[in-house]
Amino acid sequence: MSTDTASSESIGEINKYDFRTESKAVFKARKGVDAEIVNQISEMKNEPEWMRDFRLKALEIFHSKPMPTWGGDIDIDFQDIYYYLKPTDKQGRTWDEVPQEIKDTFDKLGIPEAEKKFLSGVKAQFESEVVYGSLKQDLADQGVIFTDTDSAVRDYPDLVREYFGTIIPSTDNKFAALNSAVWSGGSFIYVPKGVKIEFPLQAYFRINAENMGQFERTLIIVDEGASVHYVEGCTAPMYSSESLHSAVVEIICKRGSRCRYTTIQNWANNIYNLVTKRAVAYADATMEWVDGNLGSKLTMKYPAVYMLEPGARGEILSIAFASKGQHQDAGAKLVHCAPNTTGQIISKSISKGGGRSSYRGLVKVEKGAKNSKCNVVCDALILDPKSRSDTYPYIEILDQDVSVGHEASVSRIGEEQMFYLMSRGLSEAEASTMIVNGVIEPLVKELPMEYAVEMNRLIQLQMEGSVG
Amino acid sequence: MSHILRIENLHVAVEGKAILRGVNLEMKFGETHALMGPNGSGKSTLGLAIAGHPNYEITAGTISLDGEDITEWEADQRARAGIFMAFQRPVAIPGVKTADFLRHAATNVRRPDRKEGEDLIPMREFRKELKSKMEQLKIDSEFARRYVNDGFSGGEMKRAEILTMAMLSPKFSILDETDSGLDADAVKLASASIAEIGRDKMGLLIITHHDKLLEHNPPQFTHVMLGGRIVETGGAELARELHDHGYERIRKTYPDAEAANQEMLGKEEAVAV
């Protein structure tokens, strides 16, 4: 068979993400995390006093909190990581203003091209800082704000202070505390009342240096009746030692608004991806998380929606693909706090080549959340005997008058499916790729076309070399 | 065109149990053969062994196509060489659109040397062809967007199999009870479709209990299977006889094969329990 061609192609393809940029940082804090580093970051950013205090308090919380005892194995030496690396002095408003080698990086990743074709705005983060930002003029004219969170602290202090850390307090978990102490970059979005943004806003996160920690902080406020689709992509080159990505994302969906947050996470296989994402949805608002996890060494991520007022909806679509050396501990969390709220979780996972995927989910219906409905569907596909899949569904129902459904299935890749496709001329590798593509189809069809193409390509890459 | 599919002294076991016990069969391109026999006699097993199902272990004998021994070939190699089987119970592939699946399959079968990742048949060209084949077979165009066999009715599955056959235009087709589970109208449509797509354009091996299918596709040869062997071969009149009078005569004439058949049925029941 054509293994030679396939493997040489795949090496070329993987290199699309696995390349290092020779980039001279304008500032690199020493390794480790302590009050001095936190003060230094705050100073570099010229932050107001309240933010510095917020950081220092969070640092104490970080030190006082134990490591999570569940999920995956986390073996991180917190003192062996760079917490802040400033790649350039200022953010570009055009790509020409971005240092050449960093611009080249994003060119290779196809960002400027995508921006021209179908995006409403872009933020590109390299290491700790957003190096490029754009927003279509007509949206800016309507009062839409799309900026990096650091600039937002300076330029929109009242708005930021009102919401920052209110959805995910520093005390939430150890990694949320760490992020709160050392955060840098991330997106700040405000969509004014009634403004509906047609094309997605995209952020792209790139880690380039070894032993780097990236701690972006994203805050999205969708005002009454407004709507936005935000897409993030993430990649990094492969190094021999581990890096850490630990983001915090907070979203507020006000009455009647709609927010969709799509992630295509394709970190290198040496990255710990420990992220806290949570949204609150007020009356008749809809929050959707579309969460695709393909990369990283270990991902622990459970996007949440708290439905606070009647008529709120929360939908989470989670797809995880765990290959050799990867553990995807992914899932979702829905909390029904008001009557007539509707939730849905669809989780699909694929494990291959000794990879491990877990679904970890919580559905909670608070007392008084009458007439609420929630449905959970989990499908796991295991491609070979070395791989593993686990399901940890937690359901807490404190009201009687509700409807909660849960279905779970685990299947080995079907011999009969393989034979059926092969009897139609597909090779073993093509057949298993096709079956896997079928499994992730519910995610792909929710993506804008360009991302769908990218997603299929990523799956193809993951599948290569899957059969002897 | 002249192609020959030759089965010689084929022995096949499933999970260590012997099913086929020395099958001999020769088919030429353009011929129609009927394969009949009581339940459990090994008809589907023969089809699946020819198609290359990995669980059907060939313990002796050979399968050859145009003189080339394909006994050890994988299912996809056989498909690319021109072997096709329409399954009795096709498998669902959720999330995979029928059109995408067929485009991939047709490309591979038409370009047997295609390497993975190389271009498929151009979309526009393929769509046009698929559309015209679907019209010819009176299949709703919405079908192409549905997931492969997912939630299909029995009739839809069988028609999808015939559509696949039409798109792949194989040298030899094995149709495994493509008429089963269909109502009279659907059988008529399926029979007519097979005649239109397959007759004289490939070698057909039709496994059936029905006379409708054979009425539209009169066989030049009828083979009767019992106890894992072909015990008798005749013309179209043999198919009619079996349809009208059943297998009593066959069972009495070949007591050894009948005993083997009963033994296999017994085993099957034991497995089913």
**Residue of B1, B70, B67 whose CA lies nearest to B29:** B1
Q: pLDDT by residue (tens digit) across B87-130? A: 999 999 999 999 999 999 999 999 988 887 788 999 999 999 99
pLDDT at position A412 is 76
Q: At what angle do helices A174-182 and A35-44 cross, to 10 degrees?
A: 50
CB contact under 8 A, B101 and A424: yes
- Taking the Cβ of residue B228 and every Cβ of chain A, the question of whether any pair is shorter than 8 Å is answered with no
Kindly give the residue spans of alpha helices, DSSP state H, lying in chain B.
43-51, 75-81, 98-110, 123-136, 154-168, 184-198, 212-216, 236-245, 248-253, 255-272
Encode pLDDT of B225-240 as tens digits. 999 999 999 999 999 9
Q: How far apart are CA A461 and CA A383, in angstroms?
A: 15
CA pair distance A202, A229, nearest whole angstrom: 9
Interchain CB contact of B203 with A (< 8 Å): no
B94 touches chain A (CB under 8 A): yes
- pLDDT score for A10: 39
Q: Specify the range with the lowest mean pLDDT, choosing from A441-455, B10-24, B147-161.
A: A441-455
Pairing of the two strands B56-65 and B4-14: antiparallel
CATH level 2 (architecture), domain B4-91+171-272: 3-Layer(aba) Sandwich (3.40)
> Is the CB of residue A116 less than 8 Å away from at least one CB of chain B?
no
List all residues of chain A from 406 to 445 with a beta carbon under 8 Å from chain B.
Answer: 414-417, 419-431, 434-435, 437-442
Residue in chain B lying closest to A439 (CA):
B95
pLDDT at B269: 59
Tell me how far apart the alpha carbons of residues A413 and A449 are, in angstroms, rounded to a whole number: 27
First to last CA, chain B: 48
B172 interfacial to chain A (CB closer than 8 Å): no
pLDDT at A21: 83
A412-440: buried (b, 16+ CB within 10 Å) or exposed (e) per residue?
Answer: ebeeebbbbbbbbbbbbbbbbbbbbbbbb
Q: Does A107 touch chain B (CB under 8 A)?
A: no
Instruction: Give dist(CA A130, CA A111) in Å, integer.
Output: 14
**B14 reaches A (C-beta below 8 A):** no
Question: A219 or B244, which is more confident?
Answer: A219
Biggest CA pair distance of chain A: 68
Per-state percent for chain A, helix, strand, coil, to nearest 5: 30, 35, 35
Residue of B nearest to A4 (CA): B115
pLDDT at A371: 96
Question: In the numeric block, which tokens belong to residue A466?
Answer: 């899957």
> B15 in contact with A at a CB cutoff of 8 Å?
no
**Measured between alpha carbons, how far is A324 from B168 in angstroms, rounded to an integer?**
36
> Would the CB atoms of B93 and A9 count as touching at under 8 Å?
no
Cβ distance of B79 and A421 shorter than 8 Å = no
What is residue A9's predicted lDDT score, i.e. its pLDDT? Answer: 38
pLDDT band at residue B1 using 50, 70 and 90 as cut-offs: low
Q: Is the pLDDT score of B31 beyond 60?
A: yes
Number of other residues whose CB lies within 10 A of the CB of residue A293: 25
Q: d(Cα A253, Cα A307) in Å, to the nearest integer?
A: 10
Q: In chain A, whose CA is at the least distance from the CA of B164? A: A424
Q: A51-69, pLDDT tens digit by residue?
A: 999 999 999 999 999 999 9
Nearest to A323 by CA among A359, A292, A352: A352
Contacts of A6 in chain B (CB under 8 A): 115-117
Q: Read off the pLDDT of residues A371-418 as tens digits, 9 standing for 90 and up.
A: 999 999 998 999 988 999 999 999 999 998 999 998 888 877 778 999
DSSP letter for A31, please: B
CA angle B116, B120, B126 (to 5 degrees): 155
Q: What is the pLDDT of residue B268?
A: 62
Rounded to the nearest angstrom, the gap between the alpha carbon of residue B130 and the centroid of all alpha carbons in its chain is 21
* CB A329 within 8 Å of CB A295: no
Pairing assessment for the beta strands B68-69 and B56-65 based on DSSP bridges:
antiparallel
Partner residue opposite A429 with nearest CB, options B79, B80, B116? B116
Q: Is the pTM of this model over 0.80?
A: yes
Closest residue in B to A429 (Cα) is B116
Q: Given B52, B91, B115, which is nearest A416 (Cβ)?
A: B91
Query: Which tokens belong to B168?
Result: 């792949």
Low-confidence stretches of chain A (pLDDT beneath 50): 1-15, 466-468
Q: What is the pLDDT of residue A13?
A: 45
Q: Could you report the predicted ipTM of this complex, rounded to two decimals? A: 0.96
The residue with tokens 């012997």 is: B18
How would residue B205 be classed by pLDDT, with cut points 50, 70 and 90? very high
Q: Please tell me which of the candidates B52, B54, B108 has its beta carbon nearest to residue A426.
A: B108
Is residue A117 exposed (0-12), middle (13-18) or buried (19+ Cβ within 10 Å)? exposed
Any A CB within 8 A of B85 CB: yes
Contact state of A427 with B108 under an 8 Å Cβ cutoff: yes
Range 57-76 of B in CB contact (< 8 A) with A: 74-76
